[in-house]
């Protein structure tokens, strides 16, 4: 009754691929690399990755460039087709409060519990909001929301946790709390 087109649309919706990608075909990394406003790819994003490495030199040393590009890519960018930071942010969001609260003692615990762990201030201080790839909806000088920049910091915590271990992620979380 519904036909193949309906089933195809449902499968695309389940994978959260935007309708424009169904009509025009999938967005490839070649298309994103040729973007005139802000090219995307390992070679094209080298400047942004190097800026991230200089901001957090001791914390991100030893992490691959492809992983750092994934940390900088929000899921809204290009319909979520390139690898994005959602899963890394989930891991970092779960680890961060536990790491911070286990090292706190006494009165610090009460103040940290009242903190909602909004890390957008830390991202702004370190220039992450200029580096994040996200859907600007056609605006050239738009700034990402606090949720997007916080997700990139959580993704950085998650990437450090997965690649360098719990101790390095704990040290980075302490650095974030001190600067926030």
Domain count along the chain? 1
Domain-embedded: residue 76:
yes
Instruction: Report in angstroms the alpha-carbon separations of 149 from 58, 110, 165.
Output: 21, 25, 23
In this structure, what CATH number is given to the domain that contains residue 73?
A: 1.10.1520.10
CA distance 92 to 18: 27
Q: Is residue 21 part of a domain?
A: no
Question: Rounded distance, CA 173 to CA 164, Å?
Answer: 13
Residue closest to 150 by CA, chosen among 176, 111, 114: 176
Residue pLDDT tens, the chain, 180 long: 454 544 444 444 444 545 555 445 555 666 677 666 677 777 788 888 888 888 888 888 888 888 888 898 888 887 767 788 899 999 999 998 888 877 766 556 556 665 667 788 888 888 888 888 887 776 666 778 888 889 999 999 999 999 999 999 999 988 888 887
Query: Per the structure block, which two tokens stand in for 121?
Result: 């201030």
């Amino acid at each position: 009754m519904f036909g193949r087109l309906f089933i195809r649309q449902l499968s695309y919706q389940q994978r959260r691929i935007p309708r424009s990608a169904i009509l025009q075909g999938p967005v490839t990394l070649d298309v994103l690399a040729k973007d005139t406003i802000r090219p995307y790819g390992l070679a094209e994003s080298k400047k942004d990755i190097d800026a991230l490495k200089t901001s957090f030199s001791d914390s991100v040393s030893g992490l691959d460039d492809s992983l750092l590009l994934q940390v900088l890519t929000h899921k809204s960018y290009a319909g979520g087709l390139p690898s994005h930071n959602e899963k890394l942010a989930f891991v970092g969001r779960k680890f961060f409060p536990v790491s911070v609260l286990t090292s706190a003692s006494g009165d610090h615990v009460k103040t940290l519990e009242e903190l909602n762990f909004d890390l957008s201030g830390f991202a702004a201080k370190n220039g992450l909001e200029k580096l994040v790839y996200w859907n600007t909806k056609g605006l050239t000088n738009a700034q990402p929301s606090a949720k997007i920049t916080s997700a990139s910091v959580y993704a950085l915590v998650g990437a450090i946790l997965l690649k360098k271990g719990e101790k390095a992620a704990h040290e980075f979380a302490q650095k974030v709390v001190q600067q926030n």
